[in-house]
């Protein structure tokens, strides 16, 4: 595993330390989990955005339309 250095505002570092204490884990684990979640969310958003033209061509414009199609 490689390491990187990140600069955080003091308030954010304090919140990170509190979260690590509460969850009985360490800063690195929280940061790894947060970064993984962030990257998955961004990929989902990218894929969703790329599907919009195809969905709209089929008359699907909202999440409700999607749910109606699969229900």
Under DSSP, is residue 62 helix (H, G, I), strand (E, B) or coil? coil
pTM, to two decimals: 0.74
Judged against a pLDDT cut of 90, whether residue 63 lies above it is answered with no
Judged against a pLDDT cut of 90, whether residue 66 lies above it is answered with no
Distance CA 60, CA 4 (A): 43
Judged against a pLDDT cut of 90, whether residue 18 lies above it is answered with yes
Domain boundaries in the chain? Answer: 10-70
The packing angle between helices 27-57 and 10-23, to 10°, is: 100
What are the contacts of 2-11 at 24+ separation with CB within 8 A? Answer: 6/31
Yes or no: say if 28 and 13 are a contact pair by the CB < 8 Å rule. no
Residue 32 — pLDDT band, cuts 50, 70, 90? Answer: very high
């Amino acid at each position: 595993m490689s390491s990187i250095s990140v600069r955080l505002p003091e308030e954010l570092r304090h919140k990170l330390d509190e979260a690590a204490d509460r969850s009985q884990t360490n800063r690195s684990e929280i940061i790894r989990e947060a970064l993984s979640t962030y990257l998955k969310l961004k990929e989902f958003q990218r894929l969703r955005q790329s599907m919009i033209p195809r969905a709209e061509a089929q008359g699907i414009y909202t999440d409700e339309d999607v749910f109606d199609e699969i229900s």
